[in-house]
Amino acid sequence: MFVEAILKAAQGERVLEEPLLLKLRRLCSFSKITRLVYLTLATIPRGKATTYRALASVFGLSPRIVGFLMSRNPYPVLIPCHKVVKSDRSVGGYMGSLEFSSIKIELLRLEGVRVIGQKVDSRDLLNTRDLMQFIERGLELARILETKLTF
């Protein structure tokens, strides 16, 4: 939804509803690296997840910084931070708290990610190499936000 809205707006279509437009404006106010991490995450397909370590690795960040960004995500479903799990495949926290882990598990399952107990099935995890294709898409979206969208 978020990705499609950015692409349609870049083509000059007036399809953005006011609440989504406000979210895009706020996203533009984030640092470039934060925007890129969030936009890359938004391009990961249903049924797939990744780890804090893999996401950190492709951006040259520490896993703790990625965890911090996920905990501060202002749009938890549009920017699917629930798709980022710990290196041991356990789901970890959601929205900055371990008490919401059950919500994270439910969101993962609704998207087709296999969760067994508290761990994501390794077949559904994207590694660092897999993530590279999504960075290109994230970069494309970031360029659109920076250059083509006028608010």
Q: Each residue of 35-78: pLDDT tens digit?
A: 899 989 988 999 999 999 999 999 999 999 999 999 998 888 78
Which one-letter DSSP state was computed for residue 148? I
Residue 141 or 122, more confident: 122
Number of alpha carbons in the 13 Å side-chain half-sphere of residue 92: 24
Q: Which residues are catalytic?
A: 81
Sorting pLDDT into bands at 50, 70 and 90, what band is 128?
very high
Q: Quote the pTM value.
A: 0.82
Residue with tokens 């107990």: 117
Which regions of the chain does DSSP assign to beta strands (E)? Answer: 49-51, 84-85, 115-116, 119-120, 125-126
126 pLDDT exceeds 90? yes
pLDDT tens, residue by residue, 82-123 = 999 999 999 998 888 788 889 999 999 999 999 999 999 999
**Encoded tokens for 125:** 């995890």
Domain range list for the chain: 2-148
CA distance 26 to 54: 26
**Encoded tokens for 32:** 């470039």
CA distance 82 to 71: 10
Pick the CATH number of 2-148 from 3.40.50.1820, 3.40.50.1360, 3.30.470.30, 1.10.10.10: 1.10.10.10
